[in-house]
Chain A
Amino acid sequence: MVGLDLERAGQVSTEVQRVLRRLGVEPEVVRRAGIVCFEGEMNIVLYTPGGRIILLVYDDRVELIFSDQGPGIPDVELARQPGYSTAPDWARELGFGSGMGIPNMEANSDRLEIRSRLGEGTVIRATFWRRRDEAQRGGGEAGP
């Protein structure tokens, strides 16, 4: 993916959903993975010069891995907090940068790992359990 390419952004997540549906992945996982992918791809587009999204489908889980060569996240714990954002004004005017991206990724995945190094980039791995018992143990979706 190329940074600042808002035109193409949003297409990866719909494509990911199409692929998952074709592979017969559970609708609940398809829905959550689509939302996580959208937030991840928007982070790459808004904050970095570019990056990759890798989709892995296993019998027991689906993984989405986002890696970029961006500036890195100085304080990951802060970025996990709802409402915290470093988005520029132009992005906020388009409805991005409300500080809900990473919280949304956490709420819709069963596990979210973030590794970031300043000046080098960020790697985020989101895991979605495909078995009901494990999905419930992992936390699942946030309440209403």
Chain B
Amino acid sequence: MRLKEVAERLGLEFLVTADPEAEVRGGYVSDLLSDVLAHAEAGDLWITHQRHLNVVAVAKLRGVAGVVFARGLRPGPEALRRAEEEGVNLLLSPSDAFDTAGRLHRLLFP
């Protein structure tokens, strides 16, 4: 499913819109950067509470479809700028990680 449709259905707000047409194939929930590098898959939507600059680097390296910041936790302007430069989709979820992941799972694997 396209990222823009996922965002619409889950009520996610785009913070950085690099490629709204990106295909979302799954999801991954983690706050450990090395864990994401090791186990997330390209095309996953990465749900996290981390919101510093390195999140953008990890997202780019792993080739995830986008990063979703849970519980309305907004990243700083530096992270937004870096994501724009690197072409990484960043989104904000008003709900917590459990709820966001649960609804994403139902949407992708009904």
Residues of chain A at the chain B interface (Cβ within 8 Å): 6-7, 9-11, 13-14, 17, 31, 34-35, 38-39, 42, 94-96, 98, 100-101, 103-104, 107, 142
Interface residue B56 (Cβ < 8 Å from any Cβ of A): yes
Q: Is the CB of A98 within 8 A of B34?
A: yes
User: Count of B residues near A, CB < 8 Å?
Assistant: 22
Q: Is the CB of A6 within 8 A of B54?
A: yes
| B56-78 CB contacts (< 8 Å) to partner A | 56-58, 60-63, 78
Nearest B-chain residue to A7, judged by Cβ = B53
Q: Is the CB of B34 within 8 A of A100?
A: yes
The answer to whether residues A11 and B61 also contact, given A94-B50, A100-B38, A107-B38 and a CB cut-off of 8 A, is: no
A95: B residues at CB distance < 8 A: 31-33, 48, 50, 54-55
Complex Cα gap A69–B21 (Å): 45
Number of A-B contacts (CB under 8 A): 62
Q: Is the CB of A9 within 8 A of B34?
A: no
Complex Cα gap A142–B38 (Å): 9
Q: Which of B33, B56, B61 contacts A96 (CB 8 A)?
A: B33
Q: A38-B61, A98-B32, A100-B37 are in contact. List 15 more A-B contacts (CB 8 A).
A: A6-B52, A10-B57, A10-B58, A14-B61, A17-B61, A34-B61, A38-B37, A38-B57, A39-B37, A42-B54, A94-B52, A94-B54, A95-B50, A98-B35, A104-B38
CB distance from A111 to the nearest CB of B (A): 19
Q: Is the CB of B52 within 8 A of A35?
A: no
Nearest B-chain residue to A10, judged by Cβ = B57
Q: Is the CB of A11 within 8 A of B57?
A: yes
CB distance from A103 to the nearest CB of B (A): 8
A107: B residues at CB distance < 8 A: 38
CB distance from A22 to the nearest CB of B (A): 16
B35: A residues at CB distance < 8 A: 98, 100
A10: B residues at CB distance < 8 A: 53-54, 56-58
